Amino acid sequence: MTMTKAPVETDLLRFTTAGSVDDGKSTLIGRLLHDTKSIFEDQLEQIEGASRLLGEEGVNLALLTDGLKAEREQKITIDVAYRYFATPKRKFIIADTPGHVQYTRNMVTGASTADLAVILVDARKGVLTQSKRHAFITSLLGIPHIIVAVNKMDLVDYSEARFEEIRAQFREFSAKLTVKDISFVPISALLGDNVVSWSDRMPWYEGGSFLHKLETVNVGSRRNYIDFRFPVQYVIRPNQDFRGYAGTVASGSVTPGEEILVLPSGHGTRIKSVEGLEGPLEEAVAGDAVTLTTEDELDISRGDMIVRRKNVPTVENRFEAYLCWMNEESLDPDRPYLLLHTTRQVQAFVDRIEYRVNVDTLHRESAETLGLNEIGRVEITTASPVFFDSYRVNVATGNFVLVDPHTNVTVAAGMIRGEVKRLEKLEDPAEEPDLVGRPVTPGVVWQGWNVPRAERERRNGHRASVVWFTGMSGAGKTTIAREVERRLFQRGIGTMLLDGDQVRHGLCGDLGFTPGDRSENIRRVGEVAKLFFEHGNVVLCTFVSPYQRDRLAVRSLLPEGRYLEVHVHAPLDELRKRDPKELYRKEQAGEVSALPGSGAPYEVPDSPDLSLNTAVTSVNDAVEIVLARLERDGIVPSAAG
């Protein structure tokens, strides 16, 4: 029997347009299609006729994408319009999404499969709230590239100063996002300036045209080709001799003979064959619709997932997620919803709203519910386990939707962050303080910051962050942190160094070295670090901090992306040789209590942001690594200028 390989997708760019109302998204797409000769003559004639009926002076190219009657009458985009075109260099699928706030849910739908997002900004109005909302959603969805098209430049006399002003506005906002590849192009979609070819009306602009950027952007597919995930969609049993499991490979790849595991049962077997439309395949990859057969007959049904034996997703009925609420009726935490994840459908509750995101400032706000178009971080519990990966790692198994079971209306779209890592109390509460919640003196009411951190950051010229150096005694935490601080200080960066020995002279002078005292020490330091953080500083903390739960507690005090965990380590024999404070000698002599990692537990970080092995990395190299990471994360400006 001849086996064939699954077809490989050609170079294809999926992109979405987004922005505020009347920024010209549909006009831009119409101009792009028109000037690349991607529309037929009869289509153009139809649009010319529709333009005359609407009283337009010329041809309204926006009508190429505004296909609904209501859209043409109101001259707005309501639904997502998909268009296909190609140039000699690349093929494209466009999702033209609505700009109106009430249709933000449609923007989420259109952007969910995009490799690149085009955010349009009206040169007259600048960066508006809806533009920010769409940029934030783009970041949440993990879209790796953004092109900011500053449109209607003809209405501001092709002003370079206005373009630079808008670019500065957007850069200030986008510094808080995870998208790093952001480019800007000034255009006039109506007149075609810089859309397909460079316009001599803006000689000051030296970048390529909008189309050039689309054709040359380095787009790697967002599909995960490593982690094999196959949600079973349908069981095929045409006769007693054949039993196959049909579906689409969500991520990774699969070949006959591979060892696999079936979730949730946990039963294992091997792949007998991979069947395509035209017969057996040598391999199926992400995006391929195939039927799998197995060597053993197992009880497998719709909603189950087939994975590799040694590469299994998280199997839990609780997880954290970002939720985009898409319904006019607000989220009700007391009622059940249906959660649709891959091919699995389960009942779910939104247990907790950790915070709501203010899309103008990206600040976190306390909330008891989410309304239409609001975005928040939540905890969800499902009636039975789901099989997921973090959205950042695997889009296919990290996304889900919530459906109202009574109306069958999709009410929310979600991106999974991971399983809930809520800190738990010890069996003996007297042994260690409870770090689940922050203690508050009864009767004390929280007062907001007099000068917000954002204002301080703007004045300082850099962002605030907490860099947490953890590791066993003698690893080099303090040495590295002190040099990092010195280098930052010399560059004009506001810093604060909190060191274990210093805080035990005063702030924590009443604490010993029992497990409970060690945890209380870190709790206090975390609160102090947050205070200096809100003052706009880069706070460097050097503490053994042996317990994972304590470090997680500190991380939870800070916004996403503002906590950098650095694990500084070396082999124990090397640390005992160094012994700069003679603690290991004193431990051996019984003069001090057991040291973490030697005679007492030290919980190595599961996934630190940086891992520095000082047995092979010099202090100077370690400092350079930390500084480079702070620059990469946008915390401090590049030393190169």
Please report, for the domain that includes residue 47, its CATH number: 3.40.50.300
Residue 8 pLDDT exceeds 60? no
Give 392-409 pLDDT, tens digit per residue. Answer: 889 899 999 999 999 999
Q: At what angle are helices 104-111 and 129-140 packed, to 10 degrees?
A: 40
Tell me, yes or no, whether 162 and 27 share the same domain: yes
* 5 is a domain residue: no
pLDDT of residue 257: 94
pLDDT-derived band at 39 (thresholds 50, 70, 90) equals low
* 437 is a domain residue: no
Tell me, yes or no, whether 322 and 270 share the same domain: no
Give 101-155 pLDDT, tens digit per residue. Answer: 444 555 666 677 788 999 999 999 999 888 888 888 888 888 889 999 999 999 9
Tell me, yes or no, whether 297 and 339 share the same domain: no
Strand locations in 295-431 (E): 305-308, 314-325, 337-341, 344-357, 364-365, 375-388, 399-403, 410-419
* 524 is a domain residue: yes
Tell me, yes or no, whether 329 and 412 share the same domain: yes
**Residue 391 DSSP class:** T
3-class DSSP assignment, residue 498: strand
Tell me, yes or no, whether 18 and 122 share the same domain: yes
pLDDT of residue 609: 92
Domain boundary among 419, 447, 470: 419
The H or E element containing residue 48 is: helix 41-53
- Mean of pLDDT values over 61-83: 47
Give 214-237 pLDDT, tens digit per residue. Answer: 998 887 656 788 899 999 999 999
Strand locations in 500-637 (E): 538-542, 563-569, 610-613
Tell me, yes or no, whether 608 and 485 share the same domain: yes
User: In whole numbers, what is the pLDDT of the chain averaged over residues?
Assistant: 84
- Mean of pLDDT values over 244-273: 94
Instruction: Count CB atoms within 10 A of the CB of residue 443.
Output: 5
Q: What sign for the dihedral angle of Cα 547, 549, 551, 554?
A: negative
Tell me, yes or no, whether 358 and 478 share the same domain: no
- Rounded distance between C-alpha atoms, residue 284 and residue 609, angstroms: 34
Give 429-439 pLDDT, tens digit per residue. Answer: 333 333 334 55
Q: How far is CA 600 from CA 19, 212, 472, 476, 596, in A?
A: 56, 60, 11, 19, 4
pLDDT-derived band at 68 (thresholds 50, 70, 90) equals very low
Instruction: Count CB atoms within 10 A of the CB of residue 344.
Output: 22
Indicate the length of the chain as a whole number. 641
Which of 330, 545, 556, 618 is catalytic? The answer is 545
H runs (alpha helix) in 338-496? 395-398, 453-460, 477-490
Tell me, yes or no, whether 233 and 206 share the same domain: no
Tell me, yes or no, whether 589 and 498 share the same domain: yes
Tell me, yes or no, whether 273 and 176 share the same domain: no
Residue 9 pLDDT exceeds 50? no
Q: Phi first, then psi: give them for residue 94, nearest 5 degrees.
A: -105, 135
Residue 345 pLDDT exceeds 60? yes
DSSP for 543-574 reads -----HHHHHHHHHTS-TT-EEEEEEE--HHH
Residue 545 among the catalytic residues: yes
Cβ contact 264:346 at 8 Å: no
Residue showing tokens 């928040």: 376
* 438 is a domain residue: no
% pLDDT > 70, the chain:
84
pLDDT of residue 414: 92
**Counting beta carbons within 10 angstroms of the beta carbon of residue 243, is it exposed (0 to 12), middle (13 to 18) or buried (19 or more)?**
middle
**Residue 1 DSSP class:** -
pLDDT of residue 98: 60
Tell me, yes or no, whether 550 and 409 share the same domain: no
* 104 is a domain residue: yes
Residue showing tokens 């950042």: 392
**Counting beta carbons within 10 angstroms of the beta carbon of residue 81, is it exposed (0 to 12), middle (13 to 18) or buried (19 or more)?**
buried
Domain boundary among 394, 419, 444: 419
Domain boundary among 290, 308, 326: 308
Q: Is the pTM of this model over 0.85?
A: no
pLDDT-derived band at 519 (thresholds 50, 70, 90) equals confident
Number of compact structural domains in the chain: 4
* 1 is a domain residue: no
- Rounded distance between C-alpha atoms, residue 277 and residue 563, angstroms: 49
Lowest mean pLDDT among 207-221, 339-353, 532-546: 207-221
* Cis-peptide, bond into residue 608, ω within 30° of zero: no
> Residue 87 is part of which domain span?
12-216
Cβ contact 605:612 at 8 Å: no
* 223 is a domain residue: no
Residue 164 pLDDT exceeds 70? yes
Lowest mean pLDDT among 61-70, 475-484, 614-623: 61-70
* 254 is a domain residue: yes
Tell me, yes or no, whether 88 and 154 share the same domain: yes
Q: What is the CATH number of the domain that holds 286?
A: 2.40.30.10
Lowest mean pLDDT among 122-136, 348-362, 410-424: 410-424
Higher-confidence residue of 266 and 96: namely: 266
